[in-house]
Structure formats: C-alpha cells, structure tokens
Amino acid sequence: MFASVREVNDRIQRLNNLKQYKSAEIICSKNLSKIYRLLTSQSLPSIGFLYNFVLFSSPAGAHTQEEHDAYLELLIALLKSYGECLIGLNQHSRAKEYLKQARELIRSIHSNKYQNHAHYRDISEMIADCYIKTKDYQNALMAFESCQDRDLSSMMELAHLHRRRGNQQEAIDLYRQVLKSEPYVLAAAEALIHMGLPEDQKFNLKKIYNSPQDEWIREWIDSCYETDQNRSTREYRALINKPFAMEDLKGILDVAYIKFLSHDCDTALELFEAASKMDEYNAYRMDVFALLLYSEQCVYSYAKRSARLSALAKTLSQNNPKSPEVNYVLSVFYAQCSNKKDIEELKRQHYDQLSFKLIDRAIEKYEKVNGVKYTEGYILKANMLLSRSRFQEAVMCYHSLHTFSKDIRIYQGFVSCYLCIPQFKDALAVAGMALRIHPSQPLSHIMYGNVLLTKQDQVKEAEALFLKALELVPSQSTFGNTYLKEKAIIGLADFYCKDQRPTEAIPLLTKQLMKRDSDSVHCKLGDVYTLMGVESYDLALSHYHTALGKNPNSVDARQGLVNLEKMLNPIDDAEEDDHLLDEDDEDDGDDLQDGLQDEIN
C-alpha cells in the first residue's frame, strides 16, 4: 500500500511538471475517492476522520506509529499534488479546499512543530495564491503570514499584498528585507521607488550596486526616479543586451518605450519604425508610438507626423480594431483631426466625441485585460480635456491619475490647468511638489519657472530655475535633449522679456534655432520682435509665418499674427485679416476619417 500511494503521487508530480493537469486530476480523483468512499454526505472528509481512518485502516502489517505517520505523509503529498493540478486547471476554489485539508493534517500530526514540515510553507503559499486569484486579499495575507520561514518569492508576494491593501509601511519593510537578502531582486527596488522613496535615499540604494558591472543598474535607478512608471525589470535588462536580437519584436518595443520616457525620442522613433516594419499589424506599444507622432518631441515635420499617424491608425484598425492599444491610436488620430485649423465646428465636435469615446474604451479594455491602471490612457484623456479648455474636468482627471502615478506629465497638466483657470497658488504648489519629487528632471525646473513668470513680484526667481534646467539637460546630443533645452531657453527668453531685456533673448533663441528649427522657437522670436517695437515688426511677421509653415495648427503663432496685425492697423482692431492665417492644410488622412467609422461603432 505504501508503494502504491507513493507511485501514484510520483506519477501525478510528473504529469504536473509536464503541465498535463487534466490527466493528473483524473488520477488524483480516482485514488482519493478510495479513501473518501465511506463518506456519502459530504464531498470532503473531516480532518478527524482522515486522521483516524489512516491510523486504523492502514493495511495489515503497518502497526507501528512510524508506519502510520509515513502513510499519512503520503496522503498529505497526494492532497498537495491534487491541489497543484486543480490550480493548473484554474479551479482555484476546489484547489484551496484540498490544500487546506492537507495543511490541517500537518497541524494535527506535528502539533507545535508543524511550521518545520517540508510541505507546510509550499501548501500555505499555494492557498494564498488561490485566495489572490479569487480576489480574497485579506485571507491571502493571513495565509502568507502563517509561514514563519519565508523565501524571497513569498516575501515579495506578501509585500505586494500589503501594498495592494494599503499597508505601506509593512510593504516597505518587506521590500527592504528582500534587498538585504538579495540585492538583485530589482522588482523590490523598483517598488520602493514607486512607493515614494525620497530622492535623498537614492544614493544609499545605488551604493548597493557599486561594482563596474552594475553600472546599468545605477542608470536604471536614475531612470526609475525620472519616469516613475511601473514596468518590469526585464525591460531594463534589454538596455544592456546590445546588440539585441532584431527578431525580438517585444524587446525592441520595450526599449523604445524606455527611450521615449527618458526623452531620447529620436532613438525611440527609430526603434518604433523598425518594429513596425517587422510586423505592421502588431499593436503592442503602438499607443506610445502614436503619442510620440502626436507630440512635438518627434523629429518628423508636422506634415510627416500627421501622415504617419494616419497610416498607423489605418493599418492597425484593419487588423485588431478592438484592442486597447488600437483604440488609443484611433483616439489620438481623431484628436489630431479635431485640431485642424480650418475645420467646421460640427465636424470638430464630432471628432472630439469620437476621440473621447475611444480613449474611454481603451482605458476600460486595458484595465479589464491587464488588471492595472492605464496610465498612458488617463494622461491622454486629461491632456485632451486640457486642450479643449475643460479645465475643471481635466483637474479631476489629473487628481485621479496622481493616486497611482507620479509621472511628471501629470504635474505639467496640473500646472497648465491651474494657470488657465487661473489659480496661481495651486499652480505654485503643484510645481513645487514636482520639483521635490523630480529634482533631477529639467522639466520640473522649467515648470516652476513658468509659474513664477506669471507673477511680476516673483519673476526674478525664475531665471535661476531656467538656468538650472539647462544644466540638468544631458550633454549627449539627441533630439530629446535638444527639445528639453529648447523648453528651458524659451522660458529664459520669456524671463528676459518680462524683465524688459528682450534683446538678450534674441541670441539665445537664434542659437537654438540652429540646433532645432522648430515652430516654437520661431513663434517665440516673433513675440520678442513684436515686443521690441515697430522697427522689428517685419522680422516678427516673418517668424510667425515660418512657424505656421512648420505647424499650421500652432495656436501661439496664429495669435501672434492677430496681435501684430492689431498693432499695425490700430484703427481697424475689430477687423480680422484672414489672409494672414490662410495656410494650406497638410494631408492629415482625410480619406481615412470616414473609413474608420465602422471600426468605432
């Protein structure tokens, strides 16, 4: 009988290892039914019955206590194996009951020493996993905490559970214990950072990884602080696998995402395009690609960005129109259509409705599939509300975002909303918070400086912030770094204008124009020349037109032209000189707009 039970259990273990759970379940069920056949009124026997049944119904010849205990251990192993195969079949509620029987048997046999039993910890962790799968997190916590001897894996699971339940201090203590035992469990370090580990403790964290081969980990920690996004360690490991396998599509896109978040947008664009050529119907990370094409950080011209976004939306909608990422891409596409300058108001409203409908659908589907908040989706929705001057709704959306992410783009949105409302004190408070959380980010200093520029009595303090931002921009010559430097220089130019020193802004902006010939810099030069008086109006006019040539949807350039025209013709202030604003629309994919309607509904 001993040999028979042991052989059955060994066979079940082999089947579980091969993931042949159905076959294992059939064998387990047949053998356990032999033990349970005396019970007709309940599906599972009581612990007392099992214990007594094994002791007094063992085969002839098994008379010693040791033999009885050995038989009982085999029964525990069999129950554990049955639980494993039921978990493999996603029958977590059934698995939990069999595993609890096994755990109670261990407690009955070993009394106060049950914690030392070889199977006790494994069974308790399996029970906890079953509770997690059924979303019973409180009982999952109790199951994990019943084990005194925990390995790193169970400590991480327990920490995650505490974090999910809002027990922040318990989670932090466990993550630190994990790092103390094994520094290379980077998920623990990442969790600490995202839970708000102060930046002054970043140095202590980096000291753990002081060897030359750990340089990439130190860079990864900096990246975590800068982006504050939740992502897996494997994505960061991909950064050091150079050259990485070009057939690894997901790996390429993961690296592209990291490059995008670290403002290395030219590299990100190159990787996104390479991945798109490998599989043009792939939807993974295409939401970020669409966002890059929609933003000013893309090295492409406005016309090329618009055309590429249209092509991306059309291709993806033909293959998998219901995926969250494709809904996101389509939302960005319709947001772009809505931004066109000479569009009928009814059509603009229609595109807006489609865009918001799609991003809401993307958020809902993403969270249903992945079980986590869709940070990129919420950021896009909040930014769209901001661009439509729906400031109160945007603030509420940013507030919701801030509960689960500290992405610097959230603070940018907050500040923009509060300045538009206007609520200077709130804008200053949020900008200060961003500066505390992201002190090494140039954008934090630029943001705070821009807020100070709105108050005449605090303008002087802004100069130091813009200069500090310029210092923080990495020296490496990438498009992303050039974009950050441009933001700081435009802020500094605004300071010089506010401080009645517009002539000092011109060489700064002209030098930047040689590095990046952007509509934003041309527009700012137009503002500066307008401020300098009548003799510079021709130069201002030229720069505004150049800005509109590069980006026909530039609101600042159009407003600058209107203001300049009023100065040139003060008597006819009420008249609008529409010919100044007439620029040919670039092809934003008009033919696509009607073709995608069926995909939306």
Which amino acid belongs to residue 522?
H
Q: Are 519 and 557 contacting, i.e. CB atoms less than 8 angstroms apart? A: yes
Distance CA 67, CA 57 (A): 12
DSSP, residue by residue, 420-480: HTT-HHHHHHHHHHHHHH-TT-HHHHHHHHHHHTTSGGGHHHHHHHHHHHHHHS-SS--HH
Q: Which pLDDT score is estimated for 571?
A: 54
The residues, any chain, with a CB within 8 Å of residue 64's CB and separated by 6 or more, are none
Q: Is the pLDDT of residue 215 over 80?
A: no
Name, of 41-45, 71-75, 210-214, 405-409, the range with top average pLDDT. Answer: 405-409
Return the pLDDT at 254. Answer: 78
| Domain region containing 8 | 2-239
The more confident residue out of 599 and 288 is: 288
422 prior amide bond cis, ω within 30 = yes
Instruction: Check pLDDT > 60 for residue 175.
Output: yes
pLDDT of amino acid 267? 79
State residue 457's pLDDT score: 83
Q: Which pLDDT belongs to residue 328?
A: 95
Instruction: Name residue, tokens 């150049």.
Output: 546
Give the range with max mean pLDDT: 365-374, 393-402, 548-557, 559-568: 393-402
Given a contact cutoff of 8 angstroms between Cβ atoms, the answer to whether 327 and 284 are in contact is: no
Read off the pLDDT of each residue in 461-473 and give the average, rounded to a whole number: 90
Identify the three-state secondary structure at position 15: helix
**Spatial contact of 260 and 252, defined as CB atoms under 8 Å apart:** no
Which of the residue ranges 73-82, 93-102, 337-346, 554-563 has the most confident prediction, judged by mean pLDDT? Answer: 554-563
Q: How far is CA 65 from CA 35, 109, 250, 270, 548, in A?
A: 20, 11, 57, 71, 91
- What would the mean pLDDT of 239-253 be, rounded to a whole number? 56
Does a structural domain hold residue 392? no
Averaged pLDDT for residues 17-42? 61
Q: How many domains does the chain have?
A: 1
514 located within any domain: no
In terms of pLDDT, which residue wins out, 578 or 110? 110
Distance, in Å, from the CA atom of 4 to the CA atom of 13, rounded to the nearest integer, reads 14
Note whether residue 231 is domain-resident. Answer: yes
The band of 395, judged by pLDDT with boundaries at 50, 70 and 90, is very high
Q: How far apart are CA 392 and CA 371, in angstroms?
A: 28
The confidence score (pLDDT) of residue 588 equals 47
Residue 486 or 237, more confident: 486
92 belongs to a structural domain: yes
List, for residues 2-13, the tens digit of each pLDDT value.
445 566 667 767
The kind and range of the H/E element at 72 are helix 65-88
Neighbours of 12 (CB within 10 A): 26
User: What's residue 583's pLDDT?
Assistant: 45
Percentage with pLDDT > 70 across the chain: 74
Measured distance CA(465)–CA(438) in Å, rounded:
14
Domain with residue 102: its CATH number is 1.25.40.10
Q: Please, are residues 82 and 98 in contact by the beta-carbon 8 Å criterion?
A: yes
Q: Is residue 531 in some structural domain?
A: no
For 455-464, how does the pLDDT look when each residue is reduced to its tens digit (9 = 90+)?
A: 888 888 899 9
Confidence of residue 238 (pLDDT cuts 50, 70, 90): very low
* Rg of the chain, C-alpha, whole Å: 31
Backbone torsions φ then ψ of 35, nearest 5 degrees: -75, -35
Given a cut of 50, whether residue 366 has pLDDT beyond it is: yes
**Per-residue three-class SS string for 165-211:** HCCHHHHHHHHHHHHHHCCCCHHHHHHHHHCCCCHHHHHHHHHCCCC
Nearest alpha-carbon partner for 537 in 527, 522, 524 = 527
If one compares 585 and 409, the residue with the highest pLDDT of the two is 409
pLDDT in tens, 75-101: 777 788 778 878 878 888 888 888 888
Q: Does 211 reside within a domain?
A: yes
- Asked if the structure places residue 100 within a domain, the reply is yes
In the chain the first and final C-alpha atoms are separated, in Å, by 65
pLDDT of residue 2: 43
pTM: 0.56
> How many whole angstroms separate alpha carbon 521 and alpha carbon 489?
9
Coil, strand or helix at 541? helix
Band (59; pLDDT cuts 50, 70, 90): very low
- Check whether 419 has a pLDDT greater than 80: yes
Coil/strand/helix, residue 59: coil
Model pLDDT, residue 75:
74
Mean per-residue pLDDT of the chain: 77
Residue 30 burial by CB count (10 A; 0-12/13-18/19+): exposed, middle or buried? exposed
Q: What is the pLDDT of residue 590?
A: 52
Please give the pLDDT value at position 399: 92
Please indicate, yes or no, if residue 107 is contained in any of the structural domains: yes
SS3 content of the chain, % helix, strand, coil (to 5): 75, 0, 25
- What single-letter DSSP state applies at residue 586? P
Q: Is the pLDDT of residue 574 over 70?
A: no
